[in-house]
Amino acid sequence: METTHLSQHISSRFNEDLEAVRADLLAMGGLVEEQLRRSLAALADADSALAGEVVRDDAKVNRMEVAIDEECLRILATRAPTAGDLRLIVAIIKAITDLERIGDEARKIANIALRLATLERPADRYREIRHLGRLVEGMVHDALDAFARMDVDAALRVAQHDRHVDEEYESIQRQCVTFMMEDPRQIRRTLDVTWAARALERVGDHATNIGEYVVYMVHGEDIRHTRIEEVETRIRPRADESDEA
């Protein structure tokens, strides 16, 4: 009985550790979402003060990454987790790198907002960028939600949205080229718009990575570099196939 109590006690402490580090990841994700949201608002509203806050708060994101990384290492060293617990820790170690880089992209957008705020705003307040921004904000939110609920279907949907982001991004690039050709005096400003679009496209990639870690965590299968259709075929129940047969 003593031993059982002790091992239950250790196991419950271990679960608390895992739960705490998972909560820290989601808190970091919340801050990164906020950074992204504010950087896009700063761009649309030519709000230099808000852009300055985003640049300043990037240090908070970085500190959270280091703290979570250290906590994961402590758990690996002291608890020697295996199977699903090990995959959770490794998924967190990987996901915080992507979250930190989403934070970097938000900081880049804020820096672009600072430059653009000194120029006259276009009447549409960078409509295409705002549209692309909403798409990738949704992806980041869904990826974190999928992580929180270990929801593989939701995680796979993130990767599907990434195609729309890539299409939207290509479309903005084409528009910008046309615009620069028509009015070379706008090249500097237009290049800044292309950099902002590129930053958002990269945020979409990082959200997709986080979605892939969820699948890896739940299924123990590495779906990176696998076509999303193949993954869906492998993971989803075979019911649809037998219906067709």
Rounded to the nearest 10°, the torsion over CA 116, 120, 125, 128 is: -60
Instruction: Report the site for its own copies in 215-244 (rule: CB under 8 A).
Output: 222, 224-225
Instruction: Report the site for its own copies in 81-100 (rule: CB under 8 A).
Output: 82-83, 86-87, 90, 93-94, 97
Instruction: Report the site for its own copies in 126-185 (rule: CB under 8 A).
Output: 173, 177, 180-181, 184-185
Tell me how far, at minimum, the Cβ of 63 lies from its own copies, in Å: 7
Q: Which is nearer to its own copies, 35 or 194 (CB)?
A: 194
- In this structure, how many other beta carbons lie within 10 angstroms of the beta carbon of residue 200? 29
**Phi–psi pair at 126, nearest 5 degrees:** 55, 55
Window contacting its own copies (CB under 8 A); options: 10-18, 58-66, 140-148, 162-170: 58-66
> What is the chain's alpha carbon radius of gyration, rounded to the nearest angstrom?
21
Which stretches within the chain are classed as H helix?
A: 2-45, 48-79, 83-116, 127-149, 152-182, 187-219, 228-235, 239-244
Q: What is the DSSP letter of 184?
A: G
Q: Which is nearer to its own copies, 84 or 125 (CB)?
A: 84
The contact set with its own copies (CB under 8 A) reads 59, 62-63, 65-66, 69-70, 73, 76-77, 80, 82-83, 86-87, 90, 93-94, 97, 173, 177, 180-181, 184-185, 187-188, 191, 194, 198, 222, 224-225
